[in-house]
Chains A and B, each alone.
Chain A
Amino acid sequence: MNVLHAIAGLLLLLLLSACTGAQSAFDTGGVEAERVLGMFWIMVVGAAVIWIFVIGLSCYVTRVSPRAVDDRIGIRLIIWGGCVFPTLVLAGLLFWGLGMMPELRRPADGPTIAVSGERFWWRVAYDVEGGPGVVRNLPPGGVPSANEIWLPVGQRSTILLGSPDVIHSFWAPSLAGKMDAIPGRVNRLVMEPTRTGVYNGVCAEFCGEAHAQMGFRVVVVSEQEYAAYVRAQAAPAAVTQGPGVDLFLRNGCAACHSVRGTTADGQIGPDLTHVASRRTIGAGLLPTTPENIAAFIRSTDHVKPGVEMPSFGMLPEAEVTAIAQWLGSLE
């Protein structure tokens, strides 16, 4: 019995500990997530009431007073309790949920940020000009970044979502509901964070081998900090000369990566101009340290199987270290 209690306690603890944190829909930091959570609780309570009634009734007729029930009563119960009542409840819930949508998606006055889901990372561009629509791609331009999205607190920011390959889904549970990133159309999600902090996001639509490692961070800061951050991201790289740069260019990294301020202007992979200013590399996978960058370069297909970047395990150790040191200094 004691063992059972301990297991039950442990499970409860695990369950509760899952309710807080940077990636929990129970630990809200945005208007939409708050609405969804409110709705969730009301539905939980409603479901509990219905459940207790149904189970109570079935206990009553099987245990407390087990006798044959008149056919007519049975059919009435099925029609009213099994058809009419659920239909009305569902109609009410649908009406309520749909009624929330226009308000949550109303015009936004904050910045417009383009986010492109690409196998298996998120291309980000701040301050783009353009809007959603079908038969179109994300607007070009903007300040490039990757896998980390900064938002000003208290403002309604527009996230424009697109994809060049397959369908992905952009989901930061603490902030808002999820929205698909679909090739050939641009979807619009409005995020209105209410509290500063760092939140986790994930790709919520299976997109291939490294789908589960396709995360991102959302960093919510004050309006001033946001403006300063975007300004800093727009600037060229901090260090544009040295052995790391030369090795980077010589080994072909520039075919896929840009480092503004150098001649590297590849567009296949994440912009690395300020890679060290971001919390993670590999789309939320590893903390950004020179060691992790080196590991990523040396054994890409081991660290994150399936990515579009070849492993550079054939490079001499010293070269990888030099490149990683340089990239690790690009705040």
Chain B
Amino acid sequence: MRLFGLYGRTQDTLWTLIAAPAIWGVHFLFSYFYAAYRCAPNADIFASIGGTRIVVGIATVAALVLIGLVFRRAWVEWQAKGGTVRHDRDTAEDREHFLEFSTVLLAALSFVAVAFDVMPVLLIGDCR
């Protein structure tokens, strides 16, 4: 984890916090826009979307890996300091722990959300 900052730990900010949901959002918009774009004007609803499925598949793997990395970083740092869930003192350290823990939760949520978002592409093979 040296990669992410000095002393083997990153300064958590609101940016690190929203990284995973942001990846989820970008992935969601990309997938849906791209499928709509490839099917437009949607005159042939039974046209197969094989290529689109592959592209979305690649985007999904990328998104899941990135969210996984965010999760791992936050998890390691959070665990390194005990992995406790209560951080309500008014100190820089508690804020840091709070952000790490929140990042862990948000990353897990984003991971599941991305998986749910792509489910249609697994099951629906044309422009309907």
> B-contacting residues of A (Cβ < 8 Å)?
75, 83, 87, 90-91, 94-95, 98-99, 101-102, 105, 107, 131-136, 188
17 of the cross-chain contacts (CB-CB < 8 Å) are A87-B112, A91-B116, A95-B123, A98-B119, A98-B122, A98-B123, A98-B124, A102-B124, A102-B126, A105-B128, A107-B46, A131-B43, A132-B45, A134-B41, A136-B41, A136-B43, A188-B128
Closest B residue by C-beta to A79: B108
State in angstroms the CA–CA spacing of A134 and B40 once bound together.
7
- Asked if B120 CB lies within 8 Å of chain A CBs, one says yes
Report how many residues on chain B are interfacial, defined by Cβ distance under 8 Å.
20
Q: Is B43 a contact partner of A102 (Cβ separation < 8 A)?
A: no
- A101, B42: Cβ atoms under 8 Å? no
CA distance A198 to B116 in the complex (A): 39
Interface centre among B112, B120, B125 (most CB of A within 10 A): B112
Choose among B41, B46, B119, B120 the residue that contacts A133 (Cβ–Cβ < 8 A): B41
Interchain Cβ contacts within 8 Å, total number: 47
A135 touches B41 (CB 8 A): yes
Contacts of B124 in A (CB 8 A): 98, 101-102
User: A188–B127 Cα gap in the complex (Å)?
Assistant: 12
Whether B123 and A101, one on each chain, are in contact in the complex, defined by CB atoms closer than 8 angstroms, is: yes
What B residues does A131 contact at CB under 8 A?
A: 43-45
Is A102 a contact of B41 with CB atoms below 8 Å?
A: no
| Chain B residue at smallest Cβ distance from A87 | B112
Complex alpha-carbon distance, A188 and B126, angstroms = 14
Q: Which positions in B face A, CB cutoff 8 Å?
A: 40-46, 85, 108, 112, 115-116, 119-120, 122-126, 128
Interface of B is mostly: loop
Chain B residue at minimal CB-CB distance from A188: B45
In addition to A95-B123, A134-B40, A135-B41, 17 A-B residue pairs with Cβ atoms within 8 Å of each other are: A75-B85, A90-B116, A95-B119, A95-B122, A98-B120, A98-B122, A101-B123, A101-B124, A102-B123, A102-B126, A102-B128, A105-B128, A131-B44, A131-B45, A133-B41, A134-B41, A136-B41
- Closest Cβ neighbor of A75 among chain B residues: B85
Docked CA distance A136–B42 (Å): 10
Kindly name the residue among B42, B124, B125 whose own CB sees the greatest number of chain A CB atoms within 10 A. Answer: B42
A101 neighbours in B (Cβ, 8 Å): 123-124, 128
Query: Contact between A99 and B123 (Cβ–Cβ < 8 Å)?
Result: yes
A136–B40 CA distance with the chains assembled, in angstroms: 11
Q: Do the beta carbons of B115 and A91 come within 8 Å of each other?
A: yes
Residues from chain A with a CB closer than 8 A to the CB of B112 are: 87
CA distance A102 to B128 in the complex (A): 8
Residues in B whose Cβ lies below 8 Å from that of A87: 112
Is there an interface contact between B42 and A94, defined as CB atoms closer than 8 Å?
no
Nearest-CB residue, chain B, relative to A94: B119
Instruction: For B40, list chain A residues within 8 Å (CB).
Output: 134-135
Q: Least Cβ distance of A97 to chain B in Å?
A: 9
A134/B115 contact (C-beta < 8 A), A101-B124, A102-B128 known: no
Q: Separation in Å of the A220 CB from the closest CB of chain B?
A: 24
Complex alpha-carbon distance, A273 and B23, angstroms: 58
Bound: A181/B43 CA distance, A = 17
Q: Are A133 and B123 in contact (CB under 8 A)?
A: no
Contacts of B119 in A (CB 8 A): 91, 94-95, 98
Contacts of A99 in B (CB 8 A): 123
